[in-house]
A and B are shown apart, each in its own frame.
Chain A
């Protein structure tokens, strides 16, 4: 033992860590937005009438959920260029994370869709709305409010998954921490501060999402 903590080297490079944190947050938010879009489409496919589309959607969900995300990230960045799909590091990572979260969100949204009483759709039809209007103005808003808790936990796990972008040298928080670690040798301090930043951001995100949930809950 006999290790004395000295945080000065980490504080000197703190703006690098903050820049990394900011990028991590951006990656997570953009991936969540695209992923939610994918998840919504897939959820409608999963609950739709066409058996083949249902099967295709289920295949996507099953395959993605059973693959390690690091394999997906490396595959997208190193193997897809062989097929002629060439993306820069950041877009490749965002697309991968979006496809990954899309599979999880599809399940979340599917459960949300199934929880909406049929009577509401029938009521919509009765007042002369088209199926598209019913989806847009009745089903999706209600469903989104029902799934908010799952959405917030997905956002938090996506935020933590952004650390994997370090594997393809995207300068997010973990990558920056690793760099500082190598440059300054203040190993313990760097990792303590980096984990601290992750933990703090996760709690802030959780608190924010809870606040949104409270605002959107009616009655009770």
Chain B
């Protein structure tokens, strides 16, 4: 019991450090989900509607990103960009890598969603005289979005988990802050457990939200 109160003391001492790390974890996740989703939607549209050349490029990009571990993307983004004269700080380089990772996911989700919509719908839209952009805006996109949303929410949880990789390039998010705290008080068991608990709470929250969205977007049959 004494050990537990010592742990609580240490948590209280480190409260601002932990909160800062948590804040950075949330910022990293938000920034890379937002940027990755925008990039991913462009990617998904290219994969489905692009001309042959654009499709080839988009497919190559997607396969390359999906075949590379996220940690390698993070390290490569951090080291390569500075070598070729693009100076990003670790945070920016890390968010760039995670956005690229996220975009490949969102791109594939959107492609799958768009391709699963029956061709007859596009034909029907054409038959009643809609232009392609009208067809997309009123017929295809709403259905694709509905189908994508639950998976998209899961991607958000993926990004929170992937944000821990930025600790490797020195971004002081929650995991690196935890390691710093442990190097001061040597309570590795307690503090890794604590960090795990915080990540669990965030991700479990997102998972429940995802289930809720799934229920809400489900088409009753």
Interface residues in chain A, defined as those with a beta carbon under 8 Å from any beta carbon in chain B = 1-3, 62-63, 65-72, 74-75, 78-80, 82-83, 160-164, 166-167, 174, 177-178, 181, 187-188, 191-192, 194-195, 198-200, 202-203
Contact = CB atoms under 8 A, between A and B. Distances in A.
B120 interface: no
Given A82-B189, A83-B189, A187-B80, A68 B199 contact: yes
Given A187-B80, A188-B80, A191-B76, A202 B67 contact: yes
B161 interface: yes
B164 interface: yes
B69 A163 contact: yes
Contacts of A66: 157, 199-200, 203-204, 207
Nearest to B67: A199
Contacts of A203: 63, 67
Contact of B164 (A62, A68, A78, A187): A68
A198 B72 CA distance: 9
A71 B67 contact: no
8 contacts: A62-B207, A68-B160, A70-B165, A70-B175, A72-B196, A166-B71, A178-B75, A202-B67
B72 A194 contact: yes
Q: What interface size band does chain B fall in?
A: 35 or more
A177 B76 CA distance: 10
Contacts of A174: 69, 71-72, 75
B157 to A, nearest CB: 7
B164 A70 contact: yes
A210 to B, nearest CB: 15
Contact of B188 (A78, A192, A200): A78
Nearest to A70: B164
A1 B84 contact: yes
Contacts of A187: 79-80, 83
Nearest to A74: B192
B10 interface: no
A164 B71 contact: yes
A166 B74 CA distance: 13
A68 B161 CA distance: 4
What are the 10 A-B residue pairs with the smallest beta carbon separation, nearest first?
A199-B67, A163-B69, A66-B203, A191-B76, A68-B161, A202-B67, A160-B69, A79-B189, A68-B164, A75-B192
A63 to B, nearest CB: 6
B166 to A, nearest CB: 10
Nearest to A181: B79
